A and B are shown apart, each in its own frame.
Chain A
Amino acid sequence: MPTPNAFSALEAFVSATFYSAVPLSIAAMGGILSERAGVVNIALEGLMLTGAFVGIVAGQSSALIGLAVALLAGGLLGLLHAFLTQKTRMNHVVSGLGINLLAAGVTRYLAIRLFPNGLHIAGLPGSLFLLLAVLLPVIVALLLSRTKFGLRLRAVGENPESARMAGVLPTLPRYVAVTLSGVLAALSGAYLSMADAHTFSSNMSAGKGYIALAAVIFGKWTPVGAALGALFFGFFYALETQLQISGIHLTLLGIEWTSPFLLDMLPYLMTLAALVSVVGRATPPAALGQEE
């Protein structure tokens, strides 16, 4: 029979799993909107970092104002990605990398210039973001499957030529989708700085944008699937932390299986496996990354 101590350890573990999944799940919803509309979005990483930075800077007097400004900044940067890929026909990956670099450079530069000694914030409750992380997949799923906008979005992502024939210009749904993906990625970044760390450090997104993208693929470009993927990856984060705290080591065949470096590899390996697996292979939207 488990002792109360074991119960609280389990509770802590479940809580850590969910909270690790929160930023991944929220950003993944942004990734889904963009990619289902046919726009590759590796800019999630930079959009998250921007949200994290702006939230802290603008949230000094009021956290809610900070959050609003962070979402606005993410939306604007998302709009830039949409403009570059749609209007100037820039390669989607190049635009994404450019935005990631821009976000990394500008936030680091400004952080050193504006607050060399760090900037702290009372911030927002994590439970608010947890609620959003649970609700957003449902909302995005309904948006995609039940609304006219969702139908149009999927149409331009699968076959822009047919959409055009049917009278839907690919540009507008794509602009809206990529802008919204910027807002959602910034929301996820705001969680990292405003609810989790309560401060900003340079490059604090630390590859989470790419893991969110991995969750999108792992979930086969479906909102609920991606959220479950995020939860799955969150489980390994929590496991890693728990193993480190408890000091458990498992060495078998000369390999230390509990090493954080090996556990960190799992989300990436599983995503690769999902892409190559014979049964239920993950297939991207047909027109992803293509010009109309």
Chain B
Amino acid sequence: MTGRLQRIGRMLRPLWAILCGLTIAALVMQLSGYNVREAYGALFTGATGIEQGAARGTNQIALSVPHYALKSYHLNTFLLAQSLAKMTPLLFCGLAIALGLRAGLFNIGAQGQMTVGALAAAYVGQWGIGKGDTGTLPPLLHITLVMGAGATAGALWGALPGLLKAYRGVHEVIATIMLNYVAINATTYFVTHNLKDPNSAAAQSARIAKSAWLVPYVAGSNLTAGFLIALLAAAALAFLISRTSLGFRIRAVGMGADAAAAAGISVPRTLITTMALSGALAGLAGAIEVAGVHHRFIQGIASNYGYDGIAVALLGGLGGGGVALSALFFGALSSGASHMQTLTDVPDSIAVIVQAIVIIFVGVRYVRKDSRKRRTFNLDEMQPAEIGTGIGNGKVI
């Protein structure tokens, strides 16, 4: 009985956090004199693509609604595609962070790993470039190379804090924060020097060959096969965690490094492998932004996805499916907020406020007053015991 209640409690927890976030944001908008209904209406349209009015134009599909609704609605596939496109890097970064947390590692470095992955992808994307951006390589091969480059660079950048943690006991939160800034500055150096776009003064690389482009599903949108790769990655991660021996080792280390070591698991090797895989996922996000969206490396290409991924992972409860749903929510929220800002002048930073409140409400662990035992609905079942307690905090494992 308690078991079922616990399960229901765990499932309701993220929804409760989202509800709190949206409600508090509504209060903020109301108090600062905006029309909340209008703002949230625009946000909903931007997030889902569901718009009022009859379908018109190429990107609109009529929706059948009950006759008593009195109004007609249509689906704007462009807006929906943009939401799913925003979801793609969030899903990758969310998976990267969720994987790390499974091993008890807080990878704040997805931002840097994504940036480094994007630069490597932009570099490989210029291979075999011909006249007018056309490429000489077969597209499938070229795209595979670009993705491979992004994943490899991200993996190396991620493995570095893993190494520091495993052999020098350096806390990964500190190491990854520092490495984020190193990555951002180093990549900007490259695109203002060796890899500079010769046709522009901006800090960006030259365009990649057309053979490495991912083609959008909806004309003009950023939704490409990258979205499908992200969904595959979510499924692969869920499989890795629950069905493979590496997944078992990762979970064992996350539950307690000492016990795992006593059971014969090599803790340093597991930490490094986890960080490398985590970095590879973030690096893929960067490669897809290059191949599918910008077609080059631009300064600030990782936007804030690496940090947003932390919210995605925590809300999604660290499982493949949960993280995908959570990325869908945050992608739609962010895309919807830009639409809202265009239509109603409400600043899109309202989405950041929602995200902050969601993080805080998901992270809170409720404690009973009478005992030190935690209440049933908490993250403990989902989060390894040692998150942030810093295994190897100052001591060498």
Contact = CB atoms under 8 A, between A and B. Distances in A.
A105 B181 contact: no
B259 interface: no
Best-surrounded residue of B178, B364, B390, B394 (most CB of chain A within 10 A): B178
Given A214-B178, A265-B182, A276-B168, A88 B394 contact: no
Interface in B287-316: 307, 310-311, 314
Interface stretch (B77-85, B88-96, B183-191, B230-238): B183-191
Interface stretch (A139-147, A172-180, A223-231, A267-275): A267-275
Interface string B337-365: 00000000001011111011101100111
Contacts of A269: 178, 182
A105 B356 contact: yes
A94 B186 contact: no
Contacts of B393: 284, 286, 288-290
B350 A105 contact: yes
Contacts, number: 149
A265 B186 contact: yes
Given A89-B367, A94-B363, A261 B353 contact: no
A261 B192 contact: yes
B189 A113 contact: no
Interface in B310-329: 310-311, 314
Given A84-B360, A94-B359, A289-B388, A210 B177 contact: yes
A155 B102 CA distance: 31
Interface in A232-274: 254-256, 259, 261-262, 264-265, 268-269, 271-272
Given A40-B388, A275-B174, A105 B363 contact: no
Interface in B346-397: 347, 349-353, 355-357, 359-360, 363-367, 374, 387-390, 393-394
Contacts of B106: 93
A236 B227 CA distance: 42
A125 B336 CA distance: 43
Contacts of A261: 185-186, 188-189, 192
Contacts of B366: 88
Contacts of B188: 261
A268 B178 contact: yes
A279 to B, nearest CB: 13
Contacts of A108: 347, 349, 352
Contacts of A99: 356, 360
Of the four ranges (under 10, 10 to 19, 20 to 34, 35 or more), the interface on chain B belongs to 35 or more
B307 A259 contact: no
B149 interface: no
B32 interface: yes
A159 interface: no
B162 to A, nearest CB: 13
Contact of B170 (A89, A276, A286): A276
A164 interface: no
Contact of A88 (B33, B365, B388): B365
A259 B192 contact: yes
B136 to A, nearest CB: 28
A94 B314 contact: yes
A105 B186 contact: no
Contacts of B367: 87-89
Contacts of B350: 105, 109
Interface string A83-116: 0100111111111011101101110111011000
A283 interface: yes
B178 A84 contact: no
A101 B358 CA distance: 11
A153 to B, nearest CB: 18
A42 interface: yes
Contacts of B174: 213, 217, 271, 275
Contacts of A275: 164, 168, 170, 174-175
B32 A113 contact: yes
A207 interface: yes
B62 interface: no
B361 to A, nearest CB: 9
A268 B181 contact: yes
B365 A89 contact: yes
Contacts of B359: 94, 97-98, 101
A288 B173 CA distance: 12
A102 B173 CA distance: 20
B86 interface: no
9 contacts: A94-B314, A95-B360, A97-B311, A102-B353, A104-B356, A109-B347, A272-B179, A276-B168, A283-B394
Given A102-B357, A108-B349, 8 more contacts: A40-B388, A104-B352, A108-B352, A109-B347, A269-B182, A275-B164, A276-B164, A284-B394
Q: State the 10 A-B residue pairs at the shortest beta-carbon distance, nearest first.
A: A105-B352, A101-B356, A102-B356, A105-B353, A261-B189, A94-B363, A98-B359, A91-B388, A268-B178, A98-B360
